[in-house]
Amino acid sequence: MSDSENANSVTKPTNFIRNIIDKDLASGKHTAIKTRFPPEPNGFLHIGHAKSICINFGIAEDYQGLCNLRFDDTNPAKEESAYAEAIAKDVQWLGFKWAGDIHHSADYFDKLYGFAEELIEKGLAYVCELSMEEMRTYRGTLTETGKNSPFRDRSVEDNLDLLRKMKAGDYEDGSMALRAKIDMSSPNINMRDPVIYRIKKAHHIRTGDKWCIYPTYDFTHGISDAIEGITHSLCTLEFEDHRPLYDWFLDNISIECHPQQIEFSRLNLEHTITSKRKLNQLVVENVVDGWDDPRMPTISGMRRRGYSSAAIRDFISRTGVTKKVHTVEMSLLENSVREDLGDNAPRAMAVLKPLKVTISNYPEDKVEEINAPRHPQNEDMGTRKIYFSKTLFIDQADFRESANKKYKRLVLGKAVRLRNAYVITCDEIVKDAEGNITELKCRYDENTLGKNPEGYKPKGVIHWVSESHSKAATIRLYDRLFNVPNPASEDDFLSAVNPDCLQVIENARVELSLVEAKPEDVFQFEREGYFCADRFEHSAENLVFNRTVTLRDSWAKIEAKG
């Protein structure tokens, strides 16, 4: 068997969607698979969209099919070209390619309008003059059937005339709407004469001022799928009740293709909001610094934080594809990130809160080059140079004047090893007038580079940098944006914002090799966590690193206590 045959024979994880597709291919219903991803360009994509991207593009890829990227641009008041550009970049960054050119619902506005007139001619649509509030009243409830609009029985000629006048701009926004004529007593409220077209005199980012009436998503979605020859329209469970309407439109217009809509459970993630409206509120009210803030659950935000596309895809695969509604723990996403970065992120040293250390028995003018591994388990990554000199920095948290045996760092009168370097012993503490420790005076054991000391045992291993061969850096410590698992359930979700979701350290010190870091490069700062050079603000002259994730799940104990 050839390598290519071996690759093709790898068993793919099955699920109910793949079972449907397998059956369709086996029966001859389809000979090729075509899916689509249809976001609305009214905000940035979030982790929930990442699941839909992975499913739609991933299934097309696995079946050697095609997947279209189509912007659902039917609501011109909320759409921006910047959002569309960001969405396309996110899809590409996740590792997927769409078939051909990017599609837009606006590309089909002429055809959609033609189908609207066809429904009128078939007696299946009418122009209604009820206000939106009156429509809601007439619609009924889950326990009460709706009642017919007084405009429901207009003639075909009158409806066509009114629709054409709507299209010509003769009426004001909200004064009329085109509705499908289905069944006001249907147990499915979506089938109670839904709106097909509404008047909206707004400039469109693609069609300009050509249109002043725009189709609704329910009308546009299925027809756009059919126009593009989609075989399987994969979407989240909130569209399950809309499927009968999806099928009704396709069954009652002159179009041959009839895609199958299949729903799967959306991705709900603890400590996260995935409502675009609420995410926009976070941006507008300056709770975060834009849609790509590293605290945001947007794909752009996670990318800027240092999450890799591979880690996100791995996380999505672990959540599975089912119809069961459930919420995933944040730790599952963070574990995927840790596993990926643990294997792939080179190591470096950074001291977040520097404490000066003077090596009393080290020559004043000596600087020693030490080769340190870029990755302890991957020799192929090579080495980097670190520099040992008379004056060093360690982290303030790595020293205590006195401590019990469990403390494995530097203590007055005790020895500790500096990572990849010598063992030092603290002899003296220097304090300022307020009693704050400003300097430690230590001595090093020159016989301990790469060797254990003779006659004594150091307490532990700590990280450090040379004063002369390190650089100042800004370190941003990002944490979970919300301090409760389900912020959406709060009366005011903003009250659940974690006050410690961002801490900025301006005067950290990092080893000299990090000057070469490029934006989006990710490192493990030894003993501190994984950090990413900021995508937009980092440069060799202005070092800015964002914490991607801690080395361990620091929330596990907190939530256990809670």
CA dihedral sign of residues 317, 318, 323, 327: negative
40 as an active site residue: the answer is yes
Cα–Cα distance for residue pair 204/190, rounded to 1 Å: 27
309 sits in which H/E element: helix 309-319
Which residue among 276, 304, 313, 374 is the active-site one?
276
153 sits in which H/E element: none
- Strands 347-348 and 522-525, by their bridges, are parallel
Dig out the tokens for 126 from the structure. Answer: 């009418």
Q: At what angle are helices 81-93 and 47-62 packed, to 10 degrees? A: 60
Cα–Cα distance for residue pair 147/353, rounded to 1 Å: 69
- At 359, the amino acid letter reads I
Residue partners of 115: CB distance under 8 A and separation at least 6: 223, 249, 253, 254, 255
CA atoms lying within 13 Å on the CB side of residue 480 = 23
Largest CA distance in the chain: 103
Dig out the tokens for 555 from the structure. Answer: 């929330």
Which residue among 78, 152, 266, 408 is the active-site one?
266
276 as an active site residue: the answer is yes
Alpha helices, H only, 285-401: 299-305, 309-319, 330-344
Closest CA to 166 of 120, 131, 199, 202: 199
Do residues 56 and 35 make contact, with C-beta atoms less than 8 angstroms apart? yes
Which residue among 34, 40, 263, 547 is the active-site one?
40
Do residues 444 and 422 make contact, with C-beta atoms less than 8 angstroms apart? yes
Dig out the tokens for 456 from the structure. Answer: 């004594």
Residue partners of 472: CB distance under 8 A and separation at least 6: 507, 508, 509, 543
Burial of 289 (0-12, 13-18, 19+ CB in 10 A): middle
Residue partners of 177: CB distance under 8 A and separation at least 6: 127, 128, 135, 195, 196, 197, 198, 199
417 sits in which H/E element: strand 415-418
Residues annotated as catalytic (active site), given as ranges: 40, 266, 276
